[in-house]
A = this chain, B = another copy of it.
Amino acid sequence: MSVDSQTWEGVPLSQLFPEEKLGWTGYIEWEDKPDRKKIAQAILKTKKFTPSPEFQLEPLPKTNPILIGYRWKEYHEALGLRSIVDFSWETVQKEKPGMIHVLDFPYNGETPRAALLEGKLTDNMYHFVRNHGGVPDIDEDAFELEIGGLVNQPIKLSMKDLKDPNKFPQITATVTLQCSGTRRIEQIQEYPGEGDELIQAPWGEGAIGTAVYRGVPLKTVLKRACGGLLPEAKHVELIGADTYFKKGNVYNYAVSVPTRKMRMKEEVILAWEMNGEPLPKIHGFPLRAVVTGIIGARSTKWLYKINALEEPSLGPVQAQEYIYFTSQIGKQNAKYSNGFSIQNMPVSSAIIFPQDKEVIIHDGSIELRGWAYSGGGNWPERVEVSPDGGHVWYAVDQDNMTEKHYHAWRLWKISVPVDAEGWIEVCVRTWDSSCNTEPTFVRSAWNWDLHVTSSAHRIKLYSVNTTRPATAQRLAAFAAHGQSFTPITGPTKWTVESTEDFLAEMRRHPRDPDN
């Protein structure tokens, strides 16, 4: 069915929800159009939508994409916006073909593990993506950024204005962005939590990435272009051109950060360049916010409007989501006001190699590699690894960590002594520049919305220590019999001890006492 054939009370949807700005494909203005919102609400009320897939009480599918966003596709279709869905997936295929596609729409892509540790900077093609809506397709020349609200002088700026170094001195900054859902899968596996209509992606350790962004500080733009903020302005709302749905209503993506967050010029950047390249469309072309040290959700993509406000944004992403609840809050009593709003990210870290449940054949030590990060302007000072589930900890040598940045992760590697065989639990924790560290167990920080998995990252490894003669002998026997040692659950096909040897041993140490 073509968009034009879809109507509401006789009017084509394309007329009700027009792309009003030339060169701004896939952008519908909702926030300035309360009547339009009401019509959309009325249309959504008449439809039935596919429930979100159950992936917490059931194992995750082993497909790629892992999850399919039927419901959000249908929301868009109901309003005649199918083309946004299609363009988004085309963009994924062009810009992000090699990702772990955690959710196909709105697109959530996780960095494959090798790319994650390739270097301090994540390749644009592999940097994680957590979108809340479809990808708009905006012509840079047609683009303008509107700044209003509690400023002395509301203004509209073109990309040409923003990129003019005579108007606004540019900066570059090395910034790690992290979804507050990074490592959510660990919480899900322990205890399922909220199943939002916008799927809370079951992320592993790859919903984090680092890039050098070029742009202009919002602080400077507000001062030079708008004559500064009015005294009552305490928050800056950042609005994106993507369309967002929540409980039958439609919105443009909107969040906010406190004005205090702009105390240093690199803290809120209006960015158009990522690792020396123009921003990929999927990362917010032509303009995005990069808010350092804070939950990724504040770094609005396709940023086309900024409002200075007295109070935080009432956009649902800001006011109703990314709330950090105590463990006594859940479906039975959660409100938007009884958790605190996630802003700065706490210290956290992850082991990337080896991976959970790997069999490690080694000679008394195991090499581990991973990342460590802390938000709010803190940086990882010390990374510690425990090969015994959190009892004894070994610090990573500073020579084995990448350099410090105020707003970026550090990659690390360490070789830890392991004598034990069989299943061991290896975990990592990081101490940041404010002496914060991570709780030891997932349960310690479990929360209903499954955010901020900040507990020590813990993996299970099956350790096979070849310095033990019996083990070396057994591995040689596997080779001699032409049988693979893995998977460990595969039966050993030959008789591992002759009856003579068995009886000799049993006669030396009988099963039963003699008297």
Contact = CB atoms under 8 A, between A and B. Distances in A.
Nearest to A505: B337
This chain: copies in complex = 2
A312 B511 contact: yes
B336 A487 contact: no
A336 B496 contact: yes
A501 B422 contact: no
Interface in A234-267: 234, 247, 258, 260
Most B C-beta atoms less than 10 A away, residue of A312, A487, A491, A497: A491
B340 A474 contact: no
Interface in A40-58: 51-52, 54, 56-57
A480 interface: no
Contact of A192 (B57, B328, B474, B489): B489
Contact of A487 (B54, B247, B334, B470): B54
Q: Chain A binding site: helix, strand, loop or mixed by DSSP? A: loop
Given A54-B487, A496-B335, A497-B335, A260 B512 contact: yes
Interface residues of A, number: 72
Interface in A324-349: 327-337, 340-341
Nearest to A259: B512
A238 B306 CA distance: 84
Interface stretch (A167-175, A193-201, A284-292, A364-372): A193-201
B494 A247 contact: yes
Interface string A396-420: 0000000000000000000000001
A86 interface: no
A231 interface: no
A79 to B, nearest CB: 19
A503 B310 CA distance: 12
Contact of A337 (B328, B485, B495, B497): B497
Given A192-B489, A489-B195, A496-B334, A327 B422 contact: yes
A448 interface: yes
A491 B52 contact: yes
Given A331-B474, A337-B501, 16 more contacts: A54-B489, A56-B489, A57-B489, A191-B423, A195-B489, A196-B491, A234-B512, A311-B506, A329-B422, A330-B464, A332-B468, A332-B470, A333-B468, A333-B471, A335-B496, A340-B511
10 contacts: A190-B423, A192-B357, A193-B488, A195-B490, A314-B499, A330-B422, A332-B465, A332-B471, A332-B474, A337-B497
Interface of A: 51-52, 54, 56-57, 59, 190-197, 234, 247, 258, 260, 311-312, 314, 319, 327-337, 340-341, 357, 420-423, 446, 448, 460, 462, 464-465, 468, 470-471, 474-475, 485, 487-497, 499, 501-503, 505-506, 509, 511-512
**Top 9 nearest A-B pairs by Cβ distance?**
A195-B489, A337-B505, A191-B423, A335-B497, A333-B470, A332-B471, A330-B422, A332-B464, A59-B59
